[in-house]
Amino acid sequence: MNSTATNIRNLRQQIPNSVRIVAVSKSKPVSAIMEAYNEGQRLFGENRVQELLQKKDQLPADIEWHLIGHLQTNKVRQLVPFVSMIQSVDSRRLLRVINAEASKITRIVNCLIQIYIADEKTKYGFTMEEAVEMLGSEEFRSMQSVRICGVMGMATFTDDTEQIRREFRFLADCYKQIKSRFFADDYSFRDISMGMSGDYKIAIGEGSTMVRIGSLIFGSRNK
């Protein structure tokens, strides 16, 4: 089995410089994260707030932490003081709470709107119609403590690569429509987070700017 450092080097050779790698470190020990860090990786994604909080203080302060898993509103307060981005904003209620908590500490939190693109009921996210309705609302326009930086989506867990490609293409189309309608002059709105270890090449082909990679970096089992 290759080392984490070797895996990152190999991955970087296959991914364009314009695409950022989010190293998905859920369930991985601090030692594995440090190995990736020492290879120059600074962007890490965690699924659970409690696990992120436990790791954060044991690791260098210049790590850019992204929350990529489903976020419960009662965990937002612990996250907003330090998180670099919340990729998994999947409801208006969640965005409302993020804005409220961030405003208390005069911070602006970067967020991605999670769009439901999969043929699976277990996945979260806005429909395109719901996202448009929210972004066009007076309530959203009044939110001063969140910054929408793009969209995120999770494809169906399937071997059907054409289905995955269609879902990623749909997300990229959602991004374009939302960009032109609400963020045409906003440089901050520029990210499409899609693609994981099994499908990142398809995602990049369809316009991904951020891929969330776990097992290809850290291995499929805990070290």
**pLDDT surpassing 70 at residue 87:** yes
Residue environment code for 65-79, b if the CB has 16+ CB neighbours within 10 A, otherwise e: bbbbbebeeeebbeb
pLDDT at 122: 74
Asked whether residue 202 is domain-assigned, the answer is: yes
Asked whether residue 127 is domain-assigned, the answer is: yes
Question: 32-75 pLDDT, tens per residue?
Answer: 999 999 999 999 999 999 999 999 999 999 999 999 999 999 99
pLDDT at 223: 40
Q: Predicted confidence band at 123 (pLDDT cuts at 50, 70, 90)? A: confident
- pLDDT, mean over the chain: 96
Give φ, ψ of 199 to 5 degrees. Answer: -140, 15
Residue 71 contacts residue 97 (beta carbons within 8 Å): no
Asked whether residue 117 is domain-assigned, the answer is: yes
Number of structural domains (the chain) is 1
Per cent of the chain over pLDDT 70 is 98
Asked whether residue 149 is domain-assigned, the answer is: yes
96: enclosing H helix or E strand:
helix 92-104
Name the DSSP class of 73. G
Asked whether residue 223 is domain-assigned, the answer is: no
- The number of angstroms, rounded, from the C-alpha of 159 to the middle of its chain's C-alpha atoms is 23
Tokens for 210? 């951020």
Amino acid at 87: Q
* CATH code at position 28: 3.20.20.10
Residue 24 contacts residue 213 (beta carbons within 8 Å): yes
Asked whether residue 99 is domain-assigned, the answer is: yes
> Kindly report the CA angle at 97 between 65 and 44, in degrees rounded to 5?
10
- Name 7's bridge partners: none
Asked whether residue 84 is domain-assigned, the answer is: yes
pLDDT at 221: 54
Q: Which domain holds residue 204?
A: 4-218
Give φ, ψ of 15 to 5 degrees. Answer: -115, 130
Asked whether residue 206 is domain-assigned, the answer is: yes
Residue 64 contacts residue 43 (beta carbons within 8 Å): yes
Quick one: average pLDDT of 144-173? 97
**pLDDT surpassing 70 at residue 222:** no
